[in-house]
Amino acid sequence: NAGVTQTPKFRVLKTGQSMTLLCAQDMNHEYMYWYRQDPGMGLRLIHYSVGEGTTAKGEVPDGYNVSRLKKQNFLLGLESAAPSQTSVYFCASSLGLAGVDTQYFGPGTRLTVL
Amino acid sequence: KQEVTQIPAALSVPEGENLVLNCSFTDSAIYNLQWFRQDPGKGLTSLLLIQSSQREQTSGRLNASLDKSSGRSTLYIAASQPGDSATYLCAVTGTASKLTFGTGTRLQVTL
């Protein structure tokens, strides 16, 4: 099994450009999450999904949108990138609720916004 | 608002030493606490999950304890090896199953 995969691994954007990060999991997990990790700060939850067709805001949702059209995929979109969105983005999935069941993380996407 | 603190931020020990990593949290109303390992340029791997009703969990050379009332957890690594070098993160699960992560302790085990 591939587990949780993320595409792309690296990306450089100019301010104002848009892009979509793709997360895919092959474990039939209901729950999926997007986090960002910044130096000196813990991982922070951007958005999450408790099942196909559902999305919910996390701790830092502004400037991001998400979609969960298929159970195995969770997309994170940046409509108009800003330098403050330079970060490493991690996707995770879990069978049940986070903290009740183990979360499995992808390898991350390093995004730089110039 | 829950805050999770990990001290020290970095630690270097010689191979073979036993070591303790610390995690503290401000709100004791948690469902559980997890310890993760993160290798450079990689995602997180869950090491141990301690439910709020438990005092400790063990996996191989790793032992994690939880004192919910005092807001503290420790991760004990026995007989450290160079392959243990990584960043160790703790995270607590609070209301609405949201995880709050600490900033991590970067461990270097030297030969």
B83 pLDDT above the threshold of 80: yes
Are B43 and A105 inside 8 Å of each other by CB?
yes
Instruction: Look at B43 and A98 and tell me if their CB atoms are within 8 Å.
Output: no
Closest residue in A to B37 (Cα) is A105
Q: Are the CB atoms for B90 and B23 separated by under 8 Å?
A: yes
> What's phi and psi for B93, nearest 5 deg?
-100, 120
Query: Facing residues of A71 across strands?
Result: none
Q: What is the C-alpha separation between A91 and B43, in angstroms, rounded?
A: 9
**Averaged pLDDT for residues B43-56:** 92
Over residues B18-25, mean pLDDT:
97
CB spacing of A108 vs B98 below 8 angstroms: no
pLDDT at A98: 67
Q: Is B46 on the interface with A (CB under 8 A)?
A: yes
pLDDT of residue A71: 96
Average pLDDT, integer, range B65-81: 96
Q: What is the mean pLDDT of residues B80-91?
A: 96
Q: Which residues 28-87 of A have a C-beta within 8 angstroms of B?
A: 40-45, 58-59
With a cut of 70, list the residues of chain A below it in pLDDT. 1, 98-99
The predicted structure's pLDDT at residue A99:
65
What per-residue confidence (pLDDT) applies to A2?
77
Sheet holding B56-59, edge to edge: B4-7, B19-25, B72-77, B62-67, B56-59
pLDDT at B105: 97
pLDDT in tens, B60-71: 999 999 999 999
Instruction: State the pLDDT confidence band at B59, using cuts at 50, 70 and 90.
Output: very high
Q: What is the pLDDT of residue B1?
A: 86
Burial class (CB in 10 A: 0-12, 13-18, 19+), B29: exposed
Q: Looking at the complex, does the CB of residue A99 fall below 8 Å from at least one CB of chain B?
A: yes
Average of per-residue pLDDT values in chain A = 93
Which tokens is B31 given?
């469902």
